Every structure is written in C-alpha cells, then in structure tokens.
Amino acid sequence: MASIDYYKILGITKSASEADIKKAYRKLARKYHPDLNPNDKTAEKSFKEINEANEVLSNPENRKKYDAYGEHWQNGEAYEQEKRRQQEHQSRSQSNQGGYSQEDFSDIFGDMFGGASSGRRTNAKFRGQDYNSEIQLNLNDVYKTQKQLITVNGKNIRITIPAGVENGQVIKIAGHGGKGVNGGPNGDLYIQFSIINNTKFKRDKDNLYIDVDLDLYTALLGGQLTVDTFDGQVKLTVKPETANGTKVKLKGKGFPIYKKEDLFGDLYITYQLKIPTKLNEKEIELIKELQKQR
C-alpha cells in the first residue's frame, strides 16, 4: 500500500472519473493556495500534497501504475521489465513454473531497489517517470513573461513562463520528472497551461478582437473615438459615414508572439452602431426634416 493515499488527499474514491479528479483538485487548490494562506505552514503542506496527488491521478497512465504498485508506481515500468527478465531466466532453467507470488513481487523490488529479501541486485539503469502538471492562469497573466514557483511531487521548481503562451499549450522542463533508477536519467516534467480569458477581448493565437460602440452622430459626421487596447487606450479617427460593422486593424496592438521578443499580433476593432433612444420632440422633428431632405 502507498504511504500516502492520493485518493484520500483529494477526497475522492478509486472509482472517481477524470472530471471528478479535476473538480476536486481545483476546489482544494483554491482553498489551500499559498496566496490565500500566507505564512500558513499547514496549508502549504496540504497544497503540496494536493498537487502531488493530482499529478499522479490526473494522468490515466500514472494512475493505473499507482493503483497497481502503490508507493512504487514510478518504477512500475522498471519492475515489469525486471519481472519479464527473471521470468525468462526461470523458464530457461526450470519447466512448468507457476505464476509469481507476493513473495516473488517483494524479491523483485528488493533486487531493483536495494532490498535484502533475496540478496540479489540488478545493475540495470532505467529512466525516471515523466511528470504531468497543469497551471491555470488568466489571459492578462501571460501578456508579459513571468517567473513562477510551482510545486511538483513535493519539490519547488522556479519556471519561466514566456509571454504569449496559449491555452492548452504544453511545455517540457527536462530532467524535472521522476528520479532515474540505478543511475538512469531523470524523467521530464510536462506542464499544460489552462488560460482563462478574463478580459473583454477575444483571442485567436496572436490576434485580438473587440467590438466597440459607435454613436450615430460620430458615425455620420466623423470624429475622434477613444478605444481600449490590451495595454492602454488609443484615439482613433472615425471617417464620416462609417457603416455599422466596419472593421479597423491596429497593427502590433494584439497579443505577444510566443518566444519572439517585442513582436505582437494585431488588434481588430469592429464598430457596433448605437441607435439613440428616448428621443425628445425637437430631436424627432430634426430627424423628420432630415428624412424629407433625403
């Protein structure tokens, strides 16, 4: 059995679905996040355990190994290889051998990881397991390159998140996965980003899109209009007789291009004409006069 019960940490059962795991993790991660519990060592420890449990159970392959091998799940592949090797050896030296017992199971792990139950060891090197993690950020968090401290399998790792990272994008941190067996190389850490758009802009890769209200009089006569961009406001000149749905492109005012410093996509503005309401008698008169003129 595992020394730490990942299912118990997340408050779920072994029959929990992937959606149940994700829901439980996000709820607990928000509750125990260090930003919400400053200087709380208990919350910090819980947060690390929650992340560790999620890294294992949210990955179907790792979860299967954890269910099968418990605390030895990271070395499950190495165990299977060693088991096959010893089975082949026994099949050559003996006939009609039965299946492996629990004692055999312990002997193989003793061989591989220094146990004393069988007195034997193997010098075979095995690569460590790859880890998978998820980072959830708001869209405005990835407008600029930033450094962030994350906890993976109980270890703090400082990573650089380049500006422009996309929702669902996965980056690899080499050598930060599970430890190699018998001097084998460490596995890698794969981080998937979940980007939440908490802005009024729509993002499509490096370009941004936004609808801007345009009053009838400015649309007819032209004029100046102040509009929001992602990093501030700009003034635009509206041409006379601008139609509803007119699109304007602001070059270089979109989102940063991933790993291309100082390069940005474009911002596309669509004018949405606003028809005046609650007209007074004088306004109605003037509009009727304009209608006659037309």
Mean pLDDT (whole number) for 126-141: 88
Mean per-residue pLDDT over the chain, rounded: 83
Question: Can you tell me the distance from the alpha carbon of 191 to that of 249, in angstroms, rounded to the nearest whole number?
Answer: 34
Q: What is the predicted pLDDT for the residue at 72?
A: 67
Of the two residues 203 and 92, the one the predictor is more confident about is 203
Q: Do domains 131-196 and 202-293 have the same CATH topology?
A: yes
Which of 126-130, 135-139, 174-178, 190-194 shows the lowest per-residue confidence on average (mean pLDDT)?
A: 126-130
Pick the CATH number of 202-293 from 3.30.470.20, 2.60.40.1220, 2.60.260.20, 2.70.98.60: 2.60.260.20
Q: What is the predicted pLDDT for the residue at 122?
A: 52
Query: Cβ distance 2 to 17 under 8 Å?
Result: no
Give just the sign of the alpha carbon dihedral 100, 101, 103, 109.
positive
The SS3 assignment for 136 reads: strand
Which of 156, 172, 159, 166 minimizes the C-alpha distance to 194? 166
Question: Can you tell me the distance from the alpha carbon of 93 to that of 111, in angstroms, rounded to the nearest whole number?
Answer: 19
Q: What is the predicted pLDDT for the residue at 209?
A: 97
Give rounded-to-5 percent helix, strand, coil for the chain. 35, 25, 40
Q: What is the predicted pLDDT for the residue at 121?
A: 47
Residues in CB range of 57: below 8 A, 6 or more apart: 6, 7, 10, 16, 21, 63, 66
Q: Give tens-digit pLDDT for 215-262.
A: 999 999 999 999 999 999 999 999 999 999 999 999 999 999 999 988
Judge: domain 131-196, CATH 2.60.260.20.
yes
Mean pLDDT (whole number) for 38-53: 86
- What is the residue type of 142? V
Which pair of tokens denotes residue 151? 């906890």
Neighbours of 144 (CB within 10 A): 12
Pick the CATH number of 6-113 from 1.10.3720.10, 1.10.287.110, 1.10.490.10, 1.10.10.10: 1.10.287.110
Which pair of tokens denotes residue 47? 């947060």
Q: What is the predicted pLDDT for the residue at 166?
A: 93
Q: Give tens-digit pLDDT for 170-190.
A: 999 999 888 888 888 888 899
Mean pLDDT (whole number) for 265-270: 97
Which of 286, 283, 256, 23 minimizes the C-alpha distance to 142? 256
pTM given for the model:
0.58
